[in-house]
A = this chain, B = another copy of it.
Amino acid sequence: MVGIADVARAAGVSKATASRALTGSGYVSDSTRERVLQTAASLGYVASTAAVSLATGKTQNVGVVMPYISRWFFAEVLEGIQDALLRHGYDLTLYDARPGTDGRRRVFEDFLARKRFDGLIAVGLEPSDNELERLIAVGRPLVSVVGPSSDTSTIGLDDLHAARRATEHLVELGHTRIAFVGGGGQHWAHVDHMRLVGYQQTMADAGLAPMHVFSPVSLPGGYAAAVDLLGDVRRRPTGIVGTCDEVAIGAIIAARRLGLPVPSSLSVVGIDNHEYADMFSLTTLEQQPHAQGTQAAEMLLRQLREPNTPIIELRLHATLIVRNSTAPPTGVPSAAVGAAGATGAG
């Protein structure tokens, strides 16, 4: 391999000068810098990351810890993070920490302790007390996406707000029998819970009775839950708030299978703006996981550059995208006002 010594020799300077020219730090005359850069390029010189890390203490690498990789939200966030890091010349080391697995234990006990990174991004991790402790003990800047904001910078959707807006949308359309489908996840629990609370608050504010149907946070989960819910004519709502788009889409598919046209017989609203939302004409509250990932990475990189950057918490407000899965309930004219008395109507 060609090292900095080779470059220095070929350029007729010392290793020290070559290093200064290549890293851009310290005084070097323009002419020699140019010469060093030229010879380095012609020799195909690439600095050994191991040697650089050893000498500087920096790795030019960022660790990303997430409980799932293949779920839509996580995969999108990961892409966003990768985008930003790539632009800044940082590598990305991925740590998969599925809840309850032995791998997760090893990630926290062994892998993180190696500190092969300058900083850490935790995505939707929901760490236990012990895990959080270890995370902090690593002693590197930490940014979390959808995570507990204790002492670390955080970015994430305002879930309470999103669920409120989703529910309000149905209320404003005149719906009174509105069910919330979700809230059944063991993990992803905090987000799911906040959305349920947002729904409940809005229902209470509107003087409506809440109806909560548990569902795993997935498309098949939403499908199954909705089949159950919609199959019973007496319980059947006219509107459904899905805890996320996958659940909402599952509900739409269930409704179609049961012969319930959407939105004329059933309105469905989700949260996410999932890549399939458009295809199902799903009205939803948009969050942009890709952008969240990018922002998280940039927050972290800033902390690496300027260690005194204050810790910030970013709560994003989702915006409502109205498509064709929501409409006034049957019997209610387009104007939404004055539908209050219809509570008992089938």
**Interface residues in chain A, defined as those with a beta carbon under 8 Å from any beta carbon in chain B:** 46-51, 53-54, 59, 61, 69-70, 72, 75-76, 78-79, 82-83, 86-87, 89, 91-96, 103, 106-107, 110-111, 113-116, 219-220, 223, 250, 253, 256-257, 275-276, 278-279
Q: Is the CB of B69 within 8 A of A82?
A: yes
The reply to whether B70 and A75 form a contact with Cβ atoms under 8 Å apart is yes
Residue of B at shortest CB range from A82? Answer: B96
- Judged by DSSP, the binding face of A is helix
Q: Quick one: which of B70, B114, B220, B257 contacts A79, CB cutoff 8 A?
A: B70
Contacts of A103 in B (CB 8 A): 82-83, 86-87
CB of A287 to closest CB in B, whole Å: 15
Q: Knowing A46-B115, A75-B70 touch, does A220 contact B92 (C-beta < 8 A)?
A: no
A91 lies within 8 A of B89 (CB): no
Taking a contact as CB atoms under 8 Å apart, the answer to whether B59 and A69 are in contact is: no
Sample of 16 more A-B contacts, CB < 8 Å, known A47-B114, A49-B50, A91-B93: A46-B113, A49-B116, A50-B51, A50-B53, A50-B54, A51-B54, A70-B75, A70-B78, A82-B94, A86-B111, A87-B103, A89-B110, A92-B94, A220-B275, A223-B279, A256-B257
Residues in chain B near residue A92, CB distance under 8 A: 93-95
Contacting residue for A54 out of B54, B69, B76, B94, CB 8 A: B54
Residue numbers in B under 8 Å from A114 (CB-CB): 46-47, 49, 91
User: How many copies of this chain sit in the oligomeric assembly?
Assistant: 2
B86 touches A107 (CB 8 A): yes
The docked-state distance in angstroms from the alpha carbon of A116 to that of B59 is 10
Name A86's contact: one of B96, B116, B219 (CB within 8 Å). B96
User: Are B96 and A94 in touch, CB under 8 angstroms?
Assistant: no
A278 to chain B, nearest CB (A): 7
- 11 A-B pairs with CB atoms under 8 Å apart are A46-B115, A49-B115, A61-B93, A79-B96, A86-B96, A86-B107, A91-B111, A91-B114, A91-B116, A223-B279, A256-B257
Bound Cα distance A79, B87 (Å): 24
Q: A164 to chain B: closest CB distance in Å?
A: 28
Nearest-Cβ distance from residue A289 to partner chain B, whole angstroms: 9
Q: In the bound complex, how far is the Cα of B279 from the Cα of A220, in angstroms?
A: 6
Q: How far is the CA of A103 from the CA of B114 in the complex (A)?
A: 28
Please report the C-alpha to C-alpha distance between residue A94 and residue B293 in the assembled complex, in whole angstroms: 15
Taking CB atoms, residues of chain B closer than 8 Å to A83 are: 96, 103
Q: Which residues of B contact A79 (CB under 8 A)?
A: 69-70, 96
Complex Cα–Cα for A72 and B72 (A): 9
A80 to B78, CA, bound (A): 16
Could you tell me the distance between the alpha carbons of A50 and B48 in the complex, rounded to whole angstroms?
10
* CA A96 to CA B77, docked complex, whole Å: 13
Q: Which of B47, B69, B115, B253 contacts A75 (CB 8 A)?
A: B69
User: Which of chain B's residues has its CB closest to A96's CB?
Assistant: B82
Residues of B within 8 A of A94 (CB): 78, 82, 92-94
Q: How far is the CB of A56 from chain B (nearest CB, A)?
A: 9
From B93, B257, B278, B279, A93 is in contact (CB under 8 Å) with B93
Assembly CA distance A51 to B223 (angstroms): 53
